[in-house]
Structure formats: C-alpha cells, structure tokens
Amino acid sequence: MEMKMHGWTGNIATIDLDSGAIKHAPLPKDLARDFIGGRGLGVALLCNRADPGVDALHAPLILAVGPLTGIAPMSGRHSFVTKSPLTKTILDSSGGGFFGSELKRAGFDAVEITRESDSPVYIVIDDGEVSIRDASDIWGMNVRKTTDLLAGRHRGRVACIGRAGENCVRFANVMNDYTHACGRGGIGAVVGFKKLKAIVVKGTGKPGVADEEAFKSANEEVSRLLRASPPLKSLSTYGTPSLANLISRFRLLPTRNFRDVQFRDGESASAVSLESSTSPVSSMSGEHIKENYRLKRHSCHKCSIACRQSTQEGIEIPEYETIAMFGPDCENSDFDKIMDTNRICNDYGMDTISCGSTIACHQEICEESCDIAELAARIGEREGLGRELSMGSKAYSDAKNAGHASMHSKGLELPGYDPRGALGQALAYATSNRGGCHTRAYMIAPEIIGKPKLIDRHTLIGKPGLVCVFQNLSAAIDSIMMCSFSSFALSSEEYSNMLSAVCGLTYTSEDLLRAGERIWNVERLFNLRAGFSRADDTLPDRFFGDYGIVQAEFEDALGEYYRFRGWDPEGVPSERKLEELGLRLEIG
C-alpha cells in the first residue's frame, strides 16, 4: 500500500532523559497503517522498546496523538502509554483538552521518553524543536501553579504532574490544560520518577487532509449524528453527573466500598448538606447540580458537546465517577466536600477513582470515617497514612492482610458501576488489559443507557462477543483519537469514513475493527509476558455468590470470551490469530 502521510505528521521525537539526547525519526508507515496512532501507536512503540518484565517506574513513556487529532469532531485528545506502576499491566491513558491538538500542530505524532533525569526537567516542543529545560524552580509546585507559570513563560499548552506525580503516588495523573487528566494507572508516577515535571507544546502547523471533499462529507455526517444523539445531548446539558440518578435507580451505585448498591439517607456519614426530602444521590445528580450552581461549560478542542463544567468562579464540577467514589462509596453525602476533594486531586494530579476507592477500602478495613479532602492531600504528599494509601488499595489491603477489601481488577480500582448489576460490564472489567476500567468496553451503554440497543443486563449469555466488539472498537477510537463519548452516536463506518478521508487511505469498517483487535492482542501479549494469566481475569470475591455473579457462569463466559478472541483456554492468543492479525513482532 502506497501511503501518503496525511493525518499523520510523519515525525517521532525520542528523548533520552539520562543522556539528554534528542533524536528525530520518521514514523514507520506500516506502523501507522497497522496501529493508526494514539493508543495503538504508543503500544506498538512501547513494545519495540520495553521488555514487559521491566520495573514499571523505569519503563519508557510514549506520548502520542492520532491521525484525526485536532481535525475531526471530538478529537482534541492525546495518549500516554507505558507500563503501569499501579497494575504492572501495559497502560495507556488518554486525555482531552487542547494539548494533543497543539502537539500535532507542533509536528509530532509521538514522543518517546526514555530513562530518568538526575534533576527536575521539563520538555519544550516548539514547532518541531525539542528541548529539555531545568525545572528546579517549579519542582514541588502543584498543577495549577505549574501550568500558570509554564503557560505564561512559553505561551504554550502544558501537561504536567503535581506533587502526587513527583512523589510517585501509584495513581498519579498527568494533567493538561489545568484540569484535564490522563488518569488511571499512574502515568504521573512514571513521569515523576523520570523527574519530568512537564511538557510544554507550541505549534503553528496546520494538519492536512488528504481528500477535502470526502472529509467535508464525512464531517457533515458525523456532526449530524453527534447533534442528534440523546446521550450526547444529556452530556452537553448536565455533564457526566447526568449518570448519577440513572445508575442509582438501577442499583449499580458503589456504596460503602461496594458493600451496597444504593445510597440512602440513613447510611450517610454526614447529611449536613441535604434537605430532608432529598436523597443523597439526587443531591449529587446532574440535574441537582445544574439547579444549584451557576455553571459554565467547557469543551475540548473540536468538540461541541462541552461536557466539562465549572462554577462561574472556575471551580471544577466533579465527573460522575468522582462523585460516585468520593460520595456514596466513601459514605459521604456532602457534595461540597466532594467538590473540595476533587479540586485537591486535580491540583495534586491524582486519579479520583483510585483515590476514592482506596480511601473507601481503608474505611472498611479500619472501620473508621475519614475527612476525604484532608486524606487526599496527605496521599498527594505521601505522608503518614497517606503514604500507605498512595500505593493503591490492593497493595494497602494486602499489607493489612485484608485483600478482600480492595475493589480492584488487576490492581486497578473499579469505577462507579457495580458489576453485579451489569454482567457484561463485569466481564469487561475482568478482561480489561489495564485492570478495572469502564472505558475499555463501556457495556453500561447497552446494558443501562440502552445505546446503541438495550440488552438484558442480568445475564452473561451472549455477552462475550459483544464485549470483544466494544473492546476492539474502543481500541480503534483511542487510536484514531476521538473521544469515546462519540461512540454513543457513531458506528465504525463513520469513523472509518473519516479516517479514510483524512489519511487518503482506504480503511473499511472491518479494517478499523481489525486494527482495534490487533492492538488488543498486542496489549494482551504484553501482559502475559509481564506475568499475568487467566487467574487475573477476574473480580473481587465480593461480587460472586448467591446474591451476586454465579462463579461457574462467569468462568463459562470467560472461556467463551477467549474462544471468541481466538485465544486458548488459558487466554493466550493462538498462532493462527496472531498470523491473521499480521502480528509477528517480538515484544520486548
């Protein structure tokens, strides 16, 4: 296949933080074709550089954008890929905002960052020029200050870590454009371990499009579908907190460290902020927030949904997941407290899901109630109890001989949907290759929200194939780099039409899903070689049993999932499957 490099910039920068060497290399065309960009490209580049057995904090870090970044609707995104210091799995973590589009305009598809610096540094990427700068004066600052300072100094877009990343909190984020997070799995700890405080990007390039007419047509179709979508309209109106009432009504709301599935007044640790007639959950719902705060909406680059909200004063409104974890899961019904804790996490650069769940785990083990805001700050500082909790709930509970109290899969804390009430999501959690994550295959969409079609949430039968479809499509969307929310409205055809128009290649729907499957299989191989096995594709014991998921049915479904994937009964991809996907790469 003759490839023009439309969509891609064609350039990769490699930065050795130990030697300070900076290299430029062309993006291999076959890699771009097969792994597309973003998550897929990052995964492929990581596997070329890293032994899956490497100690996580020492792993290379890949920053990548996709061929649609900054071009298509909902495409203002970028992805970090490395080995997770929290889960030891392969990890990609993507974020929105404006940073990704700026990196593309600065002329790079990917930036590989290897080894560690002795002293704090930050990287400046300015229209093709890459330099390493001294960060001694900003080391120790949290995210807002760091961003203020570097954005002011360079007039560029800033991705940085806060104190949590510096302190290698195992669930530290990289934050960009102030409040956008590359969260889950501790990308920020890897960055902090490298003594890399920030990356600043400035770009004036204009990404080209191969076929303007086809792009216009694909763009119109996509825009029409995005405008028509009811769930996107709801996100646009209420942000992700629009989920709170729905999830509570279906009794999926993680409550008291997943010991209950609905949050009631009587169980709330603090009911100060509640009117007596309002249930704690509805007081945290999108509808309630909209009524009670004067809100501003914020969008990422190229997005008309604008699902992020803040108060008029600029205080960020927490996402649904954050509300679920710092609210019901921590037995907290004080929404202002959730707002405060969210702000602290964002400023320290910490994953609110893992932070909230780890606090909930601690509360269960020690049978005590904590001030979540104060404890979050101590975790970010890694002091006292915060130091213990900074390793995540699994390490913490194991150290306490109370592993049963960590609500994780593969070491990643589960997000705001109880798996007992959505069995497809349960299987998706268990088979997720970065641990207990909802974005690998958001089965909540068909099982609860009813998109694209409602399916029976109480059965595992018929789900394994669907979970694979969702996983493959999500991997593809994360690689072309569009926001996963777009999949409420679009199917693979619209994505592949857009990709074909931008790149000047012919990607069919099948090609796109095949790329997603290829990426998923490479990620699986990485994890297998890092020591994971079938036994890790599971959930906490709490979710199994008479009132939960039937273990035998779950094992059957897992077996069928492997069969559907073309993997052996231990979950190892068959030679035939790898051949079919054109995977000959030696990982590590």
**Contacts (Cβ under 8 Å, ≥6 apart) of 233:** none
Q: Is the Cβ–Cβ distance between 82 and 174 less than 8 Å?
A: no
Nearer to a second copy, 100 or 231 (CB): 231
Query: What is the spatial order of strands in the sheet that 174-176 belongs to?
Result: 129-134, 121-126, 196-202, 157-160, 174-176, 180-182
| Separation of alpha carbons 316 and 307, rounded Å | 12
For a second copy, the closer of residues 198 and 480 by Cβ is 480
The number of beta carbons lying within 10 Å of the beta carbon of residue 28 is: 16
**Least distance to a second copy, CB of residue 489, Å:** 8
Q: Which is nearer to a second copy, 198 or 473 (CB)?
A: 473
Report the distance separating Cα 92 and Cα 102, nearest Å: 20
Residue 358 token pair: 């780890």
Quote the least distance from Cβ 308 to a second copy, whole Å.
Answer: 24
Q: How far is the CA of 450 from the CAs of 150, 246, 463, 547, in angstroms?
A: 44, 11, 15, 24
3-state DSSP helix/strand/coil % of the chain, to nearest 5 = 45, 15, 40
Q: Compute the least distance from the CB of residue 48 to a second copy, in Å.
A: 29
- Nearer residue to a second copy within complex by CB, 214 or 315: 214
- Nearest CB to a second copy, comparing residues 161 and 467: 467
Min dist CB 585 to a second copy, Å, is 23
Nearer to a second copy, 398 or 568 (CB): 568
Chain residues that interact with a second copy, rule: CB under 8 A: 221, 224-225, 227-230, 449-456, 459, 461-466, 468-470, 473, 491-494, 509-510, 513, 560, 563-564
What amino acid occupies position 14? T
Smallest separation (angstroms) from a second copy to the CB of 81: 25
Long-range CB contacts for residues 552-558, cutoff 8 Å, separation at least 24: 553/460, 554/426, 554/427, 554/430, 554/460, 556/460, 557/423, 557/427, 557/460, 557/461, 557/463, 557/464, 558/427, 558/430, 558/431, 558/464, 558/534
Least separation in angstroms between residue 250's CB and a second copy is 10
Cβ proximity to a second copy: between 147 and 245 the closer is: 245
| 26 or 230: CB nearest a second copy | 230
CB of 488 to a second copy, least distance (A): 10
CB of 461 to a second copy, least distance (A): 5
The alpha carbons of the chain give a radius of gyration, in whole angstroms, of 22
> Chain-centre distance of CA 383, in angstroms?
27
Comparison of 61 and 501: residue with beta carbon closer to a second copy: 501
Q: Rounded to whole angstroms, how far apart are CA atoms 305 and 407?
A: 32
Q: How far is the CB of 4 from a second copy (least distance, A)?
A: 25
Beta-carbon neighbour count of residue 432 at 10 Å? 24
Residue 34: what are its φ and ψ, rounded to 5°?
A: -85, -30
Closest distance between a second copy and the C-beta of residue 60, in Å? 34
C-alpha 29/C-alpha 457 separation (Å) is 42
Q: Name which of 166 and 494 has its Cβ closer to a second copy.
A: 494
Beta pairing class for 110-114 and 61-64: antiparallel
**Which residue in the block uniquely carries the two structure tokens 């857009």?**
498
Query: Which ranges in 408-491 belong to alpha helices (H)?
Result: 423-431, 444, 463-480
